[in-house]
Structure 1
Amino acid sequence: MTTPRMAPLSALRPAADVYGDVVTAYVDVSRTNENAAQEIEVRADNLRRELLGAGADEAAVEAVAARVVEPTGHGGETFRVVAASGGELVTDMVLASAVPAQQHQGPIAHLLELARAQADDVRYALVRVDRSGADITVAGTVSPVQREMTSEGDHDELTKVKVGGWSQRRYQMRVEDSIERNAETVAKDLDRLAGNERIDLVLLTGDPTSVASVRDQVGTRVAERLEVLEHGSRAEGASDDLLDEEVEAAIQRCRSGRIDGVLDRLGGGAKAVGVAETVEALRRGEVETLVLLQGALEDREAYVGPEPLLLGHTPDELTAFGVEDPAATRLDEAMVRAAIGQDADLLPLYAPVSLLPDGIGAVLRFDTRPDQSAS
C-alpha cells in the first residue's frame, strides 16, 4: 500500500483570507431527541449573547447564529463550524466528528480545530462483494454524508448444481465465467470511482472467491489503497459489529501511515524544526506540511496582518513588513492560517515524536535559507 495522502485543507482558504472583526463558532447541532431544535436555539442565543458581550460585530454574529439554527439535513450527532466577517459567511461546515464547542471573536477566524478534523479525515469505499456484484458505501470520517451504490454484472448463472456428465462441466464453466465477469464489473466501477474522487482506502469484504477475483482485476490506483477485511457480508441482516471494528482499525492504520510518511520526510529532506524556524518558513511560503502537536502552543501569542503569511512573534516584526496595526492572536491559530494561505497540509500529532522535541515543525517544499545544511 502506498503512503496515505494528506487530506486537503483548500476548503478553508476563504476563511483564512479574512481579517478584521471575524466571528467563529463551533456548535453541537445534533438532532438526537425530540427537543433537539429547541436545544440548538438555546445554544445559538447563548453564543449570540457572549459574542456581542465581547464586542463582536453584530452583523457577523447574526449571520453565524442564523446559520447555526438552520437544519443540516443530517440526523444523529453532528457539529457545525461557522465563520463570518461582517454579514458574510466565509465557512459553514457540518461534521460527523466531534469538535470542542467554542465561539470566538478576533482578527482572524479560529480554524485550528476544524483544520485538525479535516486533516484527520479518511475517505473510504467499503465494498461488500458476492458472486453477483457488490454494494459500495462511500464515506469519510468527517462528513456525515454517505453514498450507497450497487455494482451488478451479467449474472446469468451463479449457483453450481449437480447435473451430471458433460453438461455438469459445461454448467460449472458458465458459473465460473459469470462470477469472473461480475467481478470484472465491480473492479471497473472501483477504478472509475477512485479516478473521479479522493478515496484513501478501498475496503473489500464478502464472498472469498469474488473478493479474490476483484482484487486481482482492479487497477493500480485501487490496488494501492485496497485492504481485504475478514468480516462483513452483502446478505441482508448480516451483523456489522465486527466489520465496524475492522473499518475503524483500517482508518487508524491510514492515519498512522500519514504520520510515518511525513516523519520519514522530516528525517531526510528540507525541514523546519521548532517554533522559530517554522514561523520563518511559513512567512516565506515554503511549507508543504505543517506539523503541530496538540497542546504544544497553548497560551502562546503571535501577531498577524491582513494576509495569511503575515505573522510574527512581536508587533515590530510585522510593522517592518508594512503592517500598520498588527493584531494579537493565538500562535497556533496564526500558524494554521498561514499554512492554509500557502496551500500547505496539516499533520496533527497527538503524542510527542523525537524528531520534533517541542512538537512543532514542517516539511518544506524548498528552502531559501543561505545555509540549508543547518536544517
Structure 2
Amino acid sequence: MTSVYFNLTTPPGEEDAALRRELTAKRLRAQGADEAVVDALDRLIARAEPGSGAVAVFAVDGEPEPTVVEMPGARPRDLAVHAPLPCLVPLLAWLQERPPYVLTLVDRKGADIETYRGGTATATTRTIDGPDDEIVRNAPGGWSQMRHQHRAEDSWEHNATMVAHALADDLADSGARVLLLGGDVRAMQYLTKHLPEGVRQEVTVGHVSGGRGRDGAWQHRKQQVREQVSEWADEETRKLLKRLDEGRGPSGLAVEGAVQTLRALARGQVGTLLVADDPADRRTAWFGPAPTQVSDRRTSLVASGATPVVRGPLADVAVRAALLTGAEVHVLEPGTPGGPSQGLGALCRYA
C-alpha cells in the first residue's frame, strides 16, 4: 500500500513543486513501491491544481486506479510511505478539523439550507418554503388587529415547523452535529422550538449574522462560521481528554500506552481511539487478517492461529483495528496536555 500527501502550496524558501515530486518518487522507490504505482502517483500530483490545500493519494500495488482525496485548506508535510497499511492519520486529522455542519438562513416564509459534509468546502443547498403565505403582523388596525396577529404567528410557526422537519433530515443524513442559524429572530425561535428533541440534545446550535436575502453580511458570516465550527471541533477534543482523565484508574474505562491500547483493541472494547499524529514515531505493531488480531508481539498472534501476520507502523495498525471494529478515531497533536501516555490511548465501551 502506498500513501502520499502532497502540499500544493509550496511554502516560501522550500523546494519548488517539481523538485518535491522528484523527491517523493525517490522516497517511494527506495521503500520498494511498485514502479507503475510511483509513475501513476507522480502523474496525478502533476495534474493537481496548485493552490491552497493538499492532495492525498492512496494506491495498492497491482490496482490500476489510485484513490485521490482533495484536501482544501490543508497544509500537511509532504509524506510518501510504502507500507502494509494506508497512512490515514493525517487525513483523519484534517477531516476532524472540518466536521460536517448545516447553515440555515430563515425568514417567515421558509429557509435556505446549506449542508457541508465533512472536509468539503462546497455545500449541498436547498430551499424550503412553507405552505402558508407571508403575513405582515401589523397590517390592520382596530378590533381586527389581535386576530390578524394570531394569523401571522400561526403562519410563521407552520412554516418554521416544515423547515424544522427538513433540517432534522439533513442533519441526520450528513451526520452533522453543528447547526448554524441566521435570519429573522422570531422565525429562528419557532424553528428551534420545533426541532425534534433528539436533535436539540445532540446538535450544537450557533447563530450567525445576516438573513435569507442578499445582504452585506456574507463576508462576516463566513468568518463566524469558520470560528464556530473550529470551536466545536476544539471542544470535542476537550471533552474527550476530560473523559480520558476521568477514566484513568483501575476501575475506569480509559486505557493508555501502546500495549494496553492494543490489548483493548484486540478485545473489541474500544469506543474511541486517541492517537497522536507524530511523524517521528517509528514504533511498530503486528496484525493479522481479522480486525481484532493486533498485538505488540508477533508470537502471541502466531500462537492464536492468525495467518499471515504482518508488521506495520503502530499508529496505522491501531487505526485499522479501531475502524474495522466500529470505533471512532480522534487525532491529537503530539504532546497535547492531558493526552494519553506514549501518544496512544482509548476510551472503552466496557471494562
Q: TM-score range by the shorter chain?
A: 0.7 to 0.9
Task: Show the counterpart of 2:29.
Answer: 52
Query: Cα gap change, 1:338/1:163 in structure 2, threshold over 3 Å: closer, same or farther?
Result: closer
Cα offset for 1:128? 0.8
Match of 2:12 in 1: none
Indicate yes or no: 2:267 matched with 1:291: no
Residue in structure 1 matching 2:94, options 106, 117, 124? 117
Give, in angstroms, the shift of residue 138 of structure 1: 0.7
Bigger mean CA deviation after superposition, 196-205 or 138-147: 138-147
Q: How far apart, CA to CA, are the structure 2 residues paired with 1:287 and 1:90?
A: 31
Using a 3 Å threshold, how does the CA distance of structure 1 residues 354 and 305 change in structure 2: closer, same or farther? closer
Task: Tell me the TM-score normalised to structure 1 length.
Answer: 0.75
TM-aligned CA deviation for residue 360 of structure 1:
2.6
Q: Secondary structure at the match of 1:238?
A: coil
In the alignment, structure 1 residue 84 sits paired with structure 2 residue 59: yes
CA distance in 2, matches of 1:109, 1:131: 50
Question: Which residue is equivalent to 1:251?
Answer: 229
Q: Which runs of 5+ in 2 are unaligned?
A: 10-15
Partner of residue 220 from structure 1, selected from 192, 197, 211: 197
1:279 maps onto 2:257 in alignment: no
Identity %: 27
1:41–1:169: structure 2 CA closer, same or farther, 3 Å change rule? farther
How far does the alpha carbon of each residue in 1:176-224 deviate from its partner, in whole angstroms, 9 at most, with x for none?
Answer: 3332222122112112223333121111111111111111111123322
Code of the residue aligned with 1:341 in structure 2: it is L
Letter in 1 for 2:58: A
What do you get for the CA RMSD once the two structures are aligned? 3.3
Give the match for residue 93 of structure 1.
69
Structure 1 residue 23 corresponds to structure 2 residue 23: no
> CA 1:319 to 1:97, structure 2 compared with 1: closer, same or farther past 3 Å?
farther
8 Å CA contact 2:288–2:308 kept in 1: the answer is no
Task: Determine the C-alpha separation between the residues in 1 that align with 2:318 and 2:294.
Answer: 8
| Letter of the 1:237 counterpart | D
Contact 1:116–1:346 (Cα < 8 Å) also in 2:
no
Q: Give the aligned partner of residue 209 of structure 1.
A: 186
Q: Residues 1-375 of structure 1 correspond to what in structure 2 (within 5 A)?
A: 22-28=1-7, 47-68=24-45, 77-88=52-63, 89=65, 91-98=67-74, 99-140=76-117, 142-160=119-137, 162-224=139-201, 225-266=203-244, 267-268=246-247, 269-295=252-278, 298-307=280-289, 309-313=292-296, 316=299, 319-320=302-303, 328-350=311-333, 352-354=336-338, 356-367=340-351
CA distance in 2, matches of 1:348, 1:335: 12
SS at match of 1:131: coil
TM-score where L is the length of structure 2: 0.80
* Contact 1:303/1:318, CA 8 A, preserved across alignment: no
| Higher relative contact order, structure no. (Cα contacts within 8 Å, ≥ 6 residues apart) | 1
- Give 3-state SS (helix, strand or coil) of 1:60's partner: helix
Shift of 1:90: 6.6
Q: Number of matched residues?
A: 335
